[in-house]
Every structure is written in structure tokens, then in C-alpha cells.
């Protein structure tokens, strides 16, 4: 393994997920410039590096140094110091202050920041508060370098130091020496393999029980990413054996110990043992308990002839209900929990309005909610009442992904007589458990959704399992009312859901298929539609048109289309500030999406906003009319461009126009419920672009991946 030392000249490439980058390194001793590749986020310009790796010959790009270990040191040259400070590595310093600091203190600049930060006040524009911020940030970087050195000394790449320091601070080395596998469990982006490398570096044996136990837990968490709450024990042991290569008997012994000690949980169904991570076992069992409790506690609503009240509502509303619709409205008066399902055009919205009016006519207070802000807005527009996200309903206050803290819970429940939740198919088992904890005894709960859409991104199949149990009363609306008036979107959605090809007719312009077999040409057509053709028909490129894609990568994927659409719809201009890193580019006016729950800012996964203000230090995004969120540079990984988004992220939303590419490269994701979900997001127009072969693949593929869950069995008391 060879060694290189030098200063980062510039970044050539960085992958969107931060797992690969290419940069130029100016070598020490006037030895020229080397091209370096590394499996991590790129370093900062001006940083001084010590690298270990090998030289390789790329068939297209020539000689490159493939770095396997990277140690960051403080820069020494004046140019290197200025570039390092200007790169954003130290909070409170931008390009202007970096130049002033180096001009004032020269090669002593970093020593001044570390040992005499008060002297920074000698620089114009730097006050006491900013000087303290700069000092604190730089000292954090010093501790970060210590962690990197420790990792390198134990034959582990220092590329993980940043995330480890962010989580454990000064205790990072102590945590790694005691139980490095905590990193796989507690730090986003550090998987089992990275923690395992650290464990090997400190001398942990390959068949150590700590290692096997961590592998069991890691595999269960990895399996949950595919929507499972549990997994058969044999499959779990197979996965761990494949990953570790240790004795199968040792894995079985460790699994039995973890089950006996309660580190993991299990259920036996038909002689098969299903293993759970503890947090999902708790979420599933408590969800079932709360549903059964609420079903028993809510007394029937009395106060007159319900049928007469419904008839009275029909007359006042000018609506004639079908028998199934009338049955659904009456059910909410007699059952503690009720489920309403149905596809587009089946009258779900009409029934929800009827339920709401009827419950209020009996003097009940009703809350309306949905999993996302966009779904809540739709529900509010449909009912004329206030609707909120479930997170806001529960007064989310922060916490971890699977242990979030909520102001409303079992000790301080919601204050209402009835709750109507829409888009319940989007709810995973964890959110449903938190929600049900806050529902007071005696409250009537109405769950509304479409089971034919894509399942929740998180673990569980809550809505399907509730229906599968047969325990909770439900009505499924299947008839499309006023078919002669129904749009092609509605009729084609039902055709696709039945496995039939959609109809593209010349006399109806709300459902189009543009056949383009070349993915690059399809991308260009999408840009033309969004920039020119559809705006000419009166549609706003950013407000009315939403491009969806089955996949994130490849041609016609989310990442590629976002870059093209940003360039076309919000091109650079002298008056538009930009934030440009090696991974992402944001520009004033960009349409962006929040990608994780941030309780402190009050924005949640899937929220859409627009960049309203930018400075060297912050990017400010407006979400709707009432939320303004400011992001420091280190927080910008929480947002992404949203000119195009995945079909999964579009759930619960509705847009005037939806454009969906269907190309052979997306084959792995092409399935019927994905296509159905995408086109049912559109109100006025759907445009499919791609090959007929890809369209046929999507419609014919009705194989949905089975999710291992036992909520239905718990509800029916079969366990």
C-alpha cells in the first residue's frame, strides 16, 4: 500500500449519496497533481491529506490513486489555510472573512483561532459572538482529527470520523473501545461492516457473541427497510451466516440467548418462529391492543333516527348516496373504529363529508388528519374544515426515528370525540402506534385509504392487516359513480388496477402516452413539456406540474431529471445566490423537499417548499403559508430538489399534472401498484413517456413483495 500527502485542489465528482468522490490532490514537494478516488464524501478544498492506497489505471480517465485510508491534517500554506477556512469547514467563516483572517494573521491564523480567539475581533465584521462560534467549531475539528487518528491506528479508514464525532462527541473513542457495534445501531449511514472493521481493529474475535448479536440485530433492521416487522428465524440465521461466515451453531446459540434475555422478541405461528427487533415487536403488539381497546370503548352515537338524519343531509347537500355509501356513513355512529376504502371516483370524499357533518350534527367534536402535509391540505380542501398532519396533531417534539417524543400521548391524550384519518395506507406500524396511544377512550376513529396504492415506506402493512383481520368493521367502495362524467384518469386507474391497458383516445386529452424508446430523448421531452408545452396551456411549471419517477438513479431517474429540470426551470442568474457543493446545488427559487422529520423546524418527510432566501451561512425554505425553515450548511442534506420525486414520495399528494417516465432501465421497480399510485396523483392530466414494453411490464407485474407482519393475527387473537 502506497502513501500520498498533499492539499485538496478541487473536487471533480461526488455521488448524490455521498459514497464516492473524485478529487485532485496537489502533492507535497512540487510533485504535481494526482487524481484521487475514495469511497466517501469528498474532503474540503484546501484540506491537507495523508492518504494510503494503490495506483490504478482507469480505461477512460487514466491513472488514479484509489485511497483506502484518509487522514485530514491542518493546512500549512497560506493558500491552503485560506481555502480551508473559505470551504465552510469552520462555522462563522465564509470566503470574505477567510481572506481577511489570513491577510491579518498569515500562517498563525489557525493558532490564533485555537489559542487566542478574542484576537479575531480585530477583523472587520467579526464580533465576540462570531469569534466564539469560530473557536468552538474549529476545536470540534481538532477533536475530529483525534478520532480519525484513532481509527487509522486501528486499521480503519478515518472517513467515518465525522459521523462518529457528531453522535458521541468527546466520548467517541470510549464508545468504540467498549462496543463498536453501537455505531451500526445508532449512527445513520454507518452500517454493520464499518462497525465490524473497527471491532476487528481492536482485536475482537470473529465468533465473539457481541459480534454475532450485533449482526442479528443489524440484519433485522435491514430487513425492516423492506417493510417487514419480523422474519422467520431460519432466514435470519441464513443472512447472518452469509454475512459473518462463522459457525451456524454459534449463531443459533446467540439467537436463543438474545431471545431468552429479551434483546430480541419472537412469535410462534403454525410451528414457525418469527423473530422481531424489540422496537417493532412493541409497536405491533401495542397497535393491536390499542385498536381492540378503542373498538370496545366507543359507545354508539344516539340521538335520533340515523337513516333519517342521513336522508336529511342528502337533501341539504343535493347528493344522492349509493347504498354502500349510506351504509358507511351510518357505520361511524355504531362502531368505535371504522375503515373506509376505495379507489378514485368511488365517492370516498363525499362519504367523508357526510360522516363529518353527521357526527357534528350529534354534537361531537371531530379532528381531521393525514400522514403528510399535502394529504392534510387535500383533506381540508375536500371538507372545508381544518386538517393537520399526524405529527402536528400529536405535537411532535423531537426524538429518534423510532422513538420520537410527542406532546400528545397516553398520559395527555387528544381532546376530541372523533378522528378521521385519510391516506392511512401510508402509515407504518411505528407512527400508527404513536397515534393510537394519544386517542382517548371512547373516541370514534375513522380510517380512510386506498389499499391498492403502494404500501407505507416504513415497516408494516397497517391498513391491509386491519382489513385482513376481519375484526374492524369496514366498507370498500368499488363502483365508479357517474362513469359518463368520469375523467380518463379515473377510468384508466381502475383499468390498470384490474390488469388492463389504459385507453389513450384522441378526444380526451387528460391521459396521454408519448412513445419514446430512448431514455435520453425521454428526459429531453420531459424538460420540453415542463418548460414550454404545458405552461403554454396555462400550467405553472413548479406549482401545477409534478414529474414522478419509479427510481432514483439511471436515465429518467429522480436525480438526473432534477438536474435537468433545475437547469431548465430555474437557470442560474446574476441575481440568484447559489449553494454549490460537490454533492448538491441549490439556487434561490428552487423547489425542494424535506427528506426526514425535523421536529425542531416543524417540517416533516415529504413536505414541499421553495427556497426563499440564501446567505453564505443559511438557506431559508418556505413551506406553504405558515412555515419558514432555516438550514445551516451542515443541515442541507435534509432537503433535495423536488422538480422530480419518486412515486413513493408522492403518496398522499395530488397535482394538476403528473408526468411519469416508463423506461426499460426501471424494470426492477415497474409494478402495477406503483403505476396506479402515480396516475391517481393527477387531477387534470397524466402524461406517460417511454416504451410500450415498460408500460406492459408495469401493468402485468402484480407481484407485490410479501411483508412479514402479524398485526392481523393479533387483532383476530390468533396468537
Q: How far apart are CA 511 and CA 203, in angstroms?
A: 62
Residue 238: C-alpha distances to residues 184, 435, 468 (Å): 20, 35, 30
Residue 39: C-alpha distances to residues 47, 67, 661 (Å): 17, 8, 31
3-state secondary structure 230-279: CEEHHHHHHHHHHHHCCCHHHHHHHHHHHHHHCCEEEEEECCEEEEEEHH
Q: How far apart are CA 82 and CA 65, in angstroms?
A: 26
pTM: 0.76
Higher pLDDT, 58 or 180: 180
Q: How far apart are CA 203 and CA 183, in angstroms?
A: 17
- Tell whether the model's pLDDT for residue 402 goes beyond 60: no
- Tell whether the model's pLDDT for residue 635 goes beyond 90: no
With 0-12 / 13-18 / 19 or more C-beta atoms within 10 angstroms meaning exposed / middle / buried, residue 540 is: exposed
* 136 Ramachandran zone, left/alpha/beta (phi>0; psi -120 to 50): alpha
Q: What is the DSSP string of 319-337?
A: ----HHHHHHHHHHHH-SE
pLDDT tens digits along 265-289: 999 998 899 999 999 999 999 999 9
Is residue 555 within 8 Å of residue 665, measured between CB atoms?
A: yes
- What is the DSSP code (8-state) at residue 533? I
Q: How far apart are CA 39 and CA 19, in angstroms?
A: 5
Higher pLDDT, 582 or 4: 4
Q: Count other Cβ atoms within 10 Å, centred on residue 486.
A: 16
pLDDT for the residue 30? 61
Q: How far apart are CA 623 and CA 594, in angstroms?
A: 10
β-bridge partners, 304: none
Is residue 467 within 8 Å of residue 436, measured between CB atoms?
A: no
Highest mean pLDDT among 50-59, 133-142, 275-284, 647-656: 275-284
Cα-to-chain-centroid distance, residue 55: 37
- Tell whether the model's pLDDT for residue 692 goes beyond 90: yes
Pairing of strands 337-342, 474-477: parallel
pLDDT tens digits along 118-144: 999 999 889 999 999 998 888 877 677
Alpha helices in 387-487 (DSSP H): 390-393, 429-437, 462-469
CA dihedral 118, 119, 121, 125 (to 10 degrees): -130
- Tell whether the model's pLDDT for residue 592 goes beyond 70: yes
Q: Residue 171 is placed in which grid cell?
A: 466520548
pLDDT for the residue 400? 43
The residue behind cell 494573521 is 105
pLDDT for the residue 157? 65
Higher pLDDT, 651 or 675: 675
The residue behind cell 371504522 is 338
**Residue 316 neighbours by CB under 8 Å, 6+ apart:** none
pLDDT for the residue 704? 66
- Tell whether the model's pLDDT for residue 452 goes beyond 70: yes
pLDDT tens digits along 235-276: 999 999 998 989 999 999 999 999 999 999 999 998 899 999
Residue 565: C-alpha distances to residues 141, 345, 487, 506, 637 (Å): 37, 32, 28, 28, 20
Q: How far apart are CA 281 and CA 294, in angstroms?
A: 20
Q: Residue 370 is placed in which grid cell?
A: 393525514
The residue behind cell 425553515 is 629
Q: What is the mean pLDDT of residues 180-207?
A: 84
Question: What is the chain's mean pLDDT, rounded?
Answer: 88
**Residue 19, phi then psi, degrees to nearest 5:** -100, 0
Residue 126: C-alpha distances to residues 91, 118, 152, 431 (Å): 12, 10, 36, 45
Closest-CA residue to 633 (of 199, 86, 187): 86
* Helix pair 278-297, 429-437: axis angle to 10 deg: 40
Range of lowest pLDDT (178-182, 586-590, 601-605, 688-692): 601-605
Amino acid at each position: 500500500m502506497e502513501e500520498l500527502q498533499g492539499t485538496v485542489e478541487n473536487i471533480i465528482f461526488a455521488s448524490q449519496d455521498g459514497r464516492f468522490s473524485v478529487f485532485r490532490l496537489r502533492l507535497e514537494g512540487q510533485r504535481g497533481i494526482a487524481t484521487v478516488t475514495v469511497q466517501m464524501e469528498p474532503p474540503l478544498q484546501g484540506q491537507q491529506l495523508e492518504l494510503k492506497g494503490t495506483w490504478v489505471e482507469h480505461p477512460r480517465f487514466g491513472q488514479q490513486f484509489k485511497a483506502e485510508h484518509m487522514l485530514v491534517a491542518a493546512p500549512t500554506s497560506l493558500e491552503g489555510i485560506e481555502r480551508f477556512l473559505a470551504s465552510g469547514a469552520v462555522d462563522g467563516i465564509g470566503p470574505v472573512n477567510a481572506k481577511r483572517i489570513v491577510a491579518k494573521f498569515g500562517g498563525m491564523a489557525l493558532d490564533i483561532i485555537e489559542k487566542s480567539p478574542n484576537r479575531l475581533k480585530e477583523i472587520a465584521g467579526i464580533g465576540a459572538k462570531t469569534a466564539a462560534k469560530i473557536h468552538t467549531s474549529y476545536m470540534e475539528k481538532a477533536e475530529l482529527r483525534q478520532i480519525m487518528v484513532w481509527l487509522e491506528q486501528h486499521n480503519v479508514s478515518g472517513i467515518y470520523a465525522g459521523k462518529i464525532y457528531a453522535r458521541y462527541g468527546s466520548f467517541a473513542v470510549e464508545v468504540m473501545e467498549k462496543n463498536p457495534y453501537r455505531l451500526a445501531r445508532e449512527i445513520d449511514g454507518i452500517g454493520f461492516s464499518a462497525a465490524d472493521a473497527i471491532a476487528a481493529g481492536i482485536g475482537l474475535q470473529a465468533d465473539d457473541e457481541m459480534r454475532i448479536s450485533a449482526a442479528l440485530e443489524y440484519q433485522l433492521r435491514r430487513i425492516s427497510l423492506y417493510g417487514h416487522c419480523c422474519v422467520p428465524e431460519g432466514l435470519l440465521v441464513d443472512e447472518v451466516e452469509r454475512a459473518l461466515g462463522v459457525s451456524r451453531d454459534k449463531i443459533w446459540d446467540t439467537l436463543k440467548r438474545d431471545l431468552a434475555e429479551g434483546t430480541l422478541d419472537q412469535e410462534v405461528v403454525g410451528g414457525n418462529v418469527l423473530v422481531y427487533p424489540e422496537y417493532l415487536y412493541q409497536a405491533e403488539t401495542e397497535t393491536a391492543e390499542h385498536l381492540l381497546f378503542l373498538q370496545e370503548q366507543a359507545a354508539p352515537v344516539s340521538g335520533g333516527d340515523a337513516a333519517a338524519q342521513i336522508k336529511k343531509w342528502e337533501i341539504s347537500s343535493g347528493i344522492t348516496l349509493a347504498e354502500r355509501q349510506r351504509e358507511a356513513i351510518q357505520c361511524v355512529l355504531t362502531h368505535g373504529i371504522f375503515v373506509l376504502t376505495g379507489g378514485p371516483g368511488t365517492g370516498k370524499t363525499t362519504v367523508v363529508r357526510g360522516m363529518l357533518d353527521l357526527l357534528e350534527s350529534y354534537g361531537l367534536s371531530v379532528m381531521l388528519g393525514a400522514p403528510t402535509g399535502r394529504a392534510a391540505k387535500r383533506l381540508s380542501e375536500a371538507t372545508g374544515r381544518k386538517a393537520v398532519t399526524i405529527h402536528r396533531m400529536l405535537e411532535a417534539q423531537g426524538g429518534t426515528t423510532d422513538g420520537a417524543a410527542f406532546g400528545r400521548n397516553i398520559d395527555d391524550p387528544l381532546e376530541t370525540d372523533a378522528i378521521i384519518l385519510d391516506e392511512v395506507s401510508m402509515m407504518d406500524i411505528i407512527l400508527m402506534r404513536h397515534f393510537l396511544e394519544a386517542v382517548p377512550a371512547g373516541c370514534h376513529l375513522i380510517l380512510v385509504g386506498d389499499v391498492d396504492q403502494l404500501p407505507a415506506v416504513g415497516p408494516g402493512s397497517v391498513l391491509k392487516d386491519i382489513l385482513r383481520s376481519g375484526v374492524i368493521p369496514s366498507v370498500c367502495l368499488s363502483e365508479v359513480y357517474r362513469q359518463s362524467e368520469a375523467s380518463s384518469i379515473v377510468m384508466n386507474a381502475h383499468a390498470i388496477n384490474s390488469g388492463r391497458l389504459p385507453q389513450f383516445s384522441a378526444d380526451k386529452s387528460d391521459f396521454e402516452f408519448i412513445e419514446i424508446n430512448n431514455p435520453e430523448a425521454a428526459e429531453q421531452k420531459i424538460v420540453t413539456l415542463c418548460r414550454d408545452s404545458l405552461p403554454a396551456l396555462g400550467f405553472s411549471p413548479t406549482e401545477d406540474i409534478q414529474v414522478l419517477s419509479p427510481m432514483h438513479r439511471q436515465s429518467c431517474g429522480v436525480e438526473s431529471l432534477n438536474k435537468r429540470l433545475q437547469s431548465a426551470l430555474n437557470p442560474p442568474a446574476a441575481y440568484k445566490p447559489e449553494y454549490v457543493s460537490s454533492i448538491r446545488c441549490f439556487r434561490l427559487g428552487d423547489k425542494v423537499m424535506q427528506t426526514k422529520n425535523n421536529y425542531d423546524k416543524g417540517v416533516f418527510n415529504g413536505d414541499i417548499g421553495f427556497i426563499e432566501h440564501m446567505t453564505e451561512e443559511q438557506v431559508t425554505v418556505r413551506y406553504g403559508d405558515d412555515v419558514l425553515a432555516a438550514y445551516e450548511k451542515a443541515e442541507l442534506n435534509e432537503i433535495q430538489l423536488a422538480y422530480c420525486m419518486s412515486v413513493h414520495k408522492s403518496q398522499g399528494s395530488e397535482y394538476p399534472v403528473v408526468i411519469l417516465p416508463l423506461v426499460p432501465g426501471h424494470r426492477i421497480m415497474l409494478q402495477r401498484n406503483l403505476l396506479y399510485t402515480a396516475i391517481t396523483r393527477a387531477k387534470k392530466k397524466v402524461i406517460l413517456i417511454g416504451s410500450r414494453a415498460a408500460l406492459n411490464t408495469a401493468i402485468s407485474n402484480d407481484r407485490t413483495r410479501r411483508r412479514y407482519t402479524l398485526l392481523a393475527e393479533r387483532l383476530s387473537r390468533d396468537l
